[in-house]
Structure 1
Amino acid sequence: MSLNAYQRARAIAETPRAMEYRLMSQITGDMIDAHDAGLQHAALMPALHRNREVWSTFSNLCASPDNQLPAELRARIISIALWVERHTGQVVRGQASIEDLISVNRTLIEGLAPENVPAR
């Protein structure tokens, strides 16, 4: 099976939750790799930017009146997204650690994970 055929089949069969799990696992893995490579400040931006984008997307989706998640959960996700935005700037300026962002993502991944799948 070609890679394109596999990707099409996965896109059809993958649930939104599984897609979020996969995306957050990839992004968190990229941040872990950047951290383990000793990257700091602006050198972390490729991984940080992607993380910031996904949290911004989550926030925008939760702000939609059509969103079917409970209001309290939506508010928490928006709050986390705002924190991610602020903390990312602090990481780039050398005022905070990327480890906190990794920890938040791991918590989300654990919540999205199918049973018996450890977060990276």
Structure 2
Amino acid sequence: MSLRAYQQAAQRSESPRDAELRLFGQVTRALVEAAAAPENDFKTRIEALDWNRRLWSALATDCSDEHNALDPSLRAQIISLSLWVNRHSSLVMRKQETFDALIDVNRMIMQGLSGRAEAAAA
């Protein structure tokens, strides 16, 4: 890694919320690209769906920890969404559903993480 790249990385300090927002952005972009890919491009479709499932699974695992500081009802909602993402992803792979709902849910989460949902409610 070059010195300049290291300095830029060191200067960049993300809050956990910012890191989650960035990760959701990357995963959602992969879902959008997979949705636009040809139906026979299984690699692109599977990788995007798997990445999204792993993200939601990690969130659910974190929310199931009794020491998690989030409100218990919010934690339960996130776990519920994770279960839905898993089921819906299977339907997408079987071509019984589209990527649209997964993309929409991720975008809503991103709005919440960015604070835009709070600004819209005010």
Instruction: Please tell me the TM-score bracket, short chain as reference.
Output: 0.7 to 0.9
Aligned to 1:9: 11
- TM-score, length of structure 2 as denominator length: 0.84
Q: How far, CA to CA, are the matches of 1:42 and 1:107 in structure 2?
A: 26
Deviates more, 1:22-31 or 1:37-46: 37-46
Counterpart residue type for residue 97 of structure 1: T
Aligned to 1:24: 24
Taking only aligned residues, the RMSD between alpha carbons, in angstroms, comes to 1.9
Q: Which runs of 5+ in 2 are unaligned?
A: 117-122
Distance verdict in 2 for CA 1:80–1:14, change over 3 Å = same
Deviation at 1:2, TM superposition (A): 2.9
Q: Which has the higher contact order (CA 8 A, sep 6+)?
A: 1
Distance verdict in 2 for CA 1:95–1:70, change over 3 Å = same
Q: How far, CA to CA, are the matches of 1:24 and 1:84 in structure 2?
A: 14
Q: Is the 8 A contact 2:46 2:93 kept in 1?
A: yes
Aligned to 2:120: none
Deviation at 1:113, TM superposition (A): 1.0
Q: Which runs of 5+ in 1 are unaligned?
A: 116-120
Deviation at 1:77, TM superposition (A): 0.1
Distance verdict in 2 for CA 1:103–1:20, change over 3 Å = same
Residue 35, structure 1, aligned to residue 35, structure 2: yes
Among all aligned residue pairs of Structure 1 and Structure 2, give the percentage whose two residues are the same amino acid. Answer: 36
- TM-score, length of structure 1 as denominator length: 0.86
Aligned length: 114
Once the two structures are superposed, the pairs formed by residues 1-120 of structure 1 within 5 Å of their partners are 2-10=4-12, 13-39=13-39, 42-43=42-43, 44-114=45-115
